[in-house]
């Protein structure tokens, strides 16, 4: 049986790879290979960048009105056909269809924000800043910009960046994860149908060679990345050293602090939703519950009861399950190793998802929802990002100790507090050292007109994703100081030679 090969998208068309290098793409629900994805070589990397650079010269000079027209057309096409994209995501990532649809809808918020880009890319004007002198600013696009996206959100994360970049007049090269590469090509075809000129949106399939090509080529002006902290740090340091702008969002270890006055049924529902949705493969997933005494035992019972009712299976099944498989067999083993470590370190495994098999899908990469009590804070299972359906409970004696535990961690991506005490919530939002905070909201992903990004080892540099940060990132400003001689004035154009520093008079 011949397995199809997923190639690149260069110059507005599918481009077969000639590198001879490929990687397998799996259906996580069955464990079978569904395709091979091309891995670009140096020649293909150069071709992709050259195409984008050529397209930028024209697109950057295209009128605001025409750019908006293309964005609106893309938005309408995506809205009408998002079910096709959701099915592609489920087939290669494994998440259930409703979750795949959810990520598309959140990404579409950024598309809609970008449709109104004209207001956000305006400059400013100061008339007569000095006698007869006006000062004004212009915002212009960067050029060719690179996006390196992770496997867990093959549509939403790229949409955090490319709608704004394209609206601002840049040419985009998207390097998707080789684990689920088809969504990027589908999006490229949709852009073409929407009227985007060839070369403005390029898909470069590949591995580290493609990443390094984007990082090191001087024609690429910026890099936007979401992924693990070690890679985010490497991306930030390398791209910055090469003089590029960088958005580098890393990993997380998100805590939920539960106070004794909280509604435990609400907490249990939200902990299950935030801990096990997308099989825990979310950088904003809640992975640790800090239960302030004496609520831990009751909360654990409520969570365990809800876990028992969850249906795990193929995300594309006619009767949709609550949770699908993990992305690869290797990742499943990595998640299992953290549970093993927690057990060895003295934690109590309340619900064990190791060894789960699904009838008819015995080869699938399934891992059941796992609940662990009393994980030592010295254990790697507590300190490191697991990125799987594993929820840990740690008992703390007070609000203050809970906050101190959150602040002592190396990550600062997202956190939440559950309480009915407004004063405690207000104190929490001021004291906690985390970039995105939920108050009775477990996954506090900001809406598109705000910006997404954490603190500490969850974000390198200060450039966040989308919102006003996004428009600032994908444009650079020129300040113009201009004097025009009034034709009605006399012929005197200056006040003589003066070698002193210019003054504003």
Return d(Cα 275, Cα 278) in angstroms, integer: 9
- For residue 487 the two structure tokens come to 């034709």
Asked about 283 being catalytic, the answer comes back as yes
Helix (H) or strand (E) holding 283: none
- For residue 60 the two structure tokens come to 């950057």
Return d(Cα 184, Cα 177) in angstroms, integer: 9
DSSP sequence for 171-225: EEEEE--TTS-HHHHHHHHHHHHTTPPTTSEEE---SHHHHHHHHH-TTEEEEEE
Decide: helix, strand or coil at residue 38. Answer: strand
Catalytic residue from among 283, 303, 371, 465: 283
- For residue 330 the two structure tokens come to 């290797």
3-state secondary structure 405-465: HHHHCCEECEEEEECCCHHHHHHHHHHCCCCEEEECCCCCCCCCCCCECCEECCEECCCCE
Return d(Cα 407, Cα 109) in angstroms, integer: 31
Return d(Cα 501, Cα 497) in angstroms, integer: 12
Neighbours of 415 (CB within 10 A): 33
Neighbours of 320 (CB within 10 A): 16
Q: How far apart are the first and last CA of the chain?
A: 80
Decide: helix, strand or coil at residue 360. Answer: coil
Residues sharing a CB contact under 8 Å with residue 236, sequence separation 6 or more, in sequence order: 225, 246, 248, 460, 461
Choose among 304, 344, 86, 46: nearest CA to 173: 46
Return d(Cα 225, Cα 242) in angstroms, integer: 16
DSSP sequence for 70-120: HHHHHHHHHHHHHHHHHHHHHHHH---HHHHHHHHHHHHHHHHHHHTHHHH
Neighbours of 269 (CB within 10 A): 15
Report, as residue numbers or ranges, the catalytic residues.
283
């Amino acid at each position: 049986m011949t397995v199809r090969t997923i190639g690149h998208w260069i110059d507005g068309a599918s481009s077969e790879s000639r590198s001879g290098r490929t990687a397998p793409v799996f259906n996580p629900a069955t464990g079978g290979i569904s395709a091979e994805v091309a891995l670009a070589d140096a020649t293909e990397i150069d071709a992709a960048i050259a195409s984008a650079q050529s397209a930028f010269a024209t697109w950057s000079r295209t009128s605001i009105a025409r750019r908006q027209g293309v964005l609106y057309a893309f938005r309408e096409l995506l809205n009408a056909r998002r079910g096709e994209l959701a099915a592609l995501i489920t087939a290669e990532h494994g998440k259930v269809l409703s979750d795949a649809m959810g990520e598309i809808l959140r990404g579409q918020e950024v598309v809609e924000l970008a449709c109104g880009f004209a207001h956000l890319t305006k400059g400013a004007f100061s008339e007569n800043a000095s006698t007869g002198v006006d000062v004004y600013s212009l915002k212009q696009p960067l050029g060719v910009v690179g996006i390196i996206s992770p496997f867990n959100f093959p549509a939403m994360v790229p949409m955090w960046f490319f709608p704004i970049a394209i609206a601002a007049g840049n040419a985009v090269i998207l390097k998707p994860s080789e684990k689920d590469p088809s969504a990027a090509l589908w999006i490229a075809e949709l852009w073409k149908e929407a009227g985007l000129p060839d070369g403005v949106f390029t898909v470069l399939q590949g591995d580290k060679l493609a990443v390094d090509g984007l990082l090191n080529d001087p024609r690429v002006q910026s890099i936007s990345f979401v992924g693990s902290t070690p890679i985010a740090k490497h991306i930030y340091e390398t791209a910055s050293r090469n003089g590029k702008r960088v958005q580098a969002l890393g990993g997380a270890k998100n805590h939920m602090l539960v106070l004794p006055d909280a509604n435990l049924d609400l907490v249990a529902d939200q902990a299950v939703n935030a801990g096990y949705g997308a099989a825990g493969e979310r950088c904003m997933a809640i992975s640790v519950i800090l239960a302030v005494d004496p609520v831990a035992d009751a909360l654990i019972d409520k969570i365990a009861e809800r876990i028992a009712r969850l249906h795990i299976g193929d995300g594309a099944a006619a009767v949709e399950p609550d949770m699908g498989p993990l992305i690869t067999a290797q990742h499943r083993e990595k998640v299992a190793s953290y549970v093993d470590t927690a057990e060895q370190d003295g934690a109590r495994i309340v619900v064990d998802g190791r060894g789960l098999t699904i009838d008819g899908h015995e080869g699938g990469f399934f891992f059941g929802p796992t609940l662990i009590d009393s994980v030592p804070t010295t254990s790697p299972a507590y300190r490191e990002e697991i990125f799987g359906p594993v929820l840990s409970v740690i008992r703390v004696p007070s609000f203050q100790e809970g906050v101190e535990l959150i602040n002592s961690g190396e990550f600062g991506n997202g956190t939440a507090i559950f309480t009915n005490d407004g004063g405690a919530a207000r104190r929490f939002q001021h004291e906690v050292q985390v970039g995105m905070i939920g108050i009775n909201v477990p996954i506090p992903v900001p809406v598109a007109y705000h910006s997404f990004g954490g603190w500490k080892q969850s974000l390198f540099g200060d450039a966040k994703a989308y919102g006003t940060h996004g428009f600032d990132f994908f444009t650079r400003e020129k300040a113009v100081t201009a004097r025009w001689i009034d034709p009605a004035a006399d012929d005197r154009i200056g006040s003589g030679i003066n070698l002193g520093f210019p003054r504003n008079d």
